[in-house]
Structure 1
């Protein structure tokens, strides 16, 4: 856990025991996770403390919130460019209709959106829905047998 402290300190976050546990958990995920997922995975976790940790991480540019249309916000680690002033990792998210996982696709940037005069954008989000590569491979394997 000592190797995680610099990550929190770099973002000006006090490295409490709970924050270190939450960060460790998030870094090990291959897809975005909800607060409920975190609460279930991190047994003996106080819901309020977990929520406050995630909120602090979001406010300091360590995680970003993903609204994927499932009705539950999910969270994933940000790209290094995110700061307390704002999130700068404008990438596409992919929601798998089969396994219901949400993935960050940081190599696929959201295209610039030109708004009409008088409009001021404050947040950009793009979620592509379909079948992830793992689910597609499983379907192809089943079909081959």
Structure 2
């Protein structure tokens, strides 16, 4: 299994180190989008600054993408192999108001916008909020 993580890192021109493989493996264990504190809890023996630097590197090399779900915490998700984080790759996200988890909705593309020729899009954030149907809506 470690070889597939190494291959994925190498496909994005990221040198495979023990920490990077460990962080990537932890990211794959989430069935939803995750934030920095999620990874810090999962990897409690790893230095927090190492995790933060690794996230930044993965984001820079488009191995993961980030989005603001409105919760005040940036969420991350692993990109598909054919993703290059271009406008064509952008998709919607869902945020559960009850369990506070966010999920990628890769089957819902972000619409294209007709803007003034002098305007340049740098990011688009489409978040749908509601009840995920998987959590106990009234537990807190």
Same fold (TM over 0.5): yes
Which residues of 2 match residues 1-145 of structure 1 at below 5 A? 1-83=2-84, 87-88=85-86, 89-135=89-135
Secondary structure of the equivalent of 1:3? helix
Q: How far apart in 1 are the matches of 2:126 and 2:80?
A: 16
- State the TM-score, normalizing by the size of structure 2: 0.89
Measure how far apart 1:134 and its partner are.
1.1
- State the TM-score, normalizing by the size of structure 1: 0.86
Give the paired residue count: 134
Secondary structure of the equivalent of 2:111? coil
Choose 1 or 2 for highest CA Rg.
1
Q: How far apart in 1 are the matches of 2:103 and 2:90?
A: 13
Would you tell me which structure has more helix in proportion to its own residues?
1
Secondary structure of the equivalent of 1:133? coil
List alignment gaps of at least 5 residues for structure 1.
140-145
Q: How large is the RMSD of aligned CA atoms in angstroms?
A: 1.4
Secondary structure of the equivalent of 1:134? coil
Measure how far apart 1:7 and its partner are.
0.5
Q: How far apart in 2 are the matches of 1:128 and 1:113?
A: 18
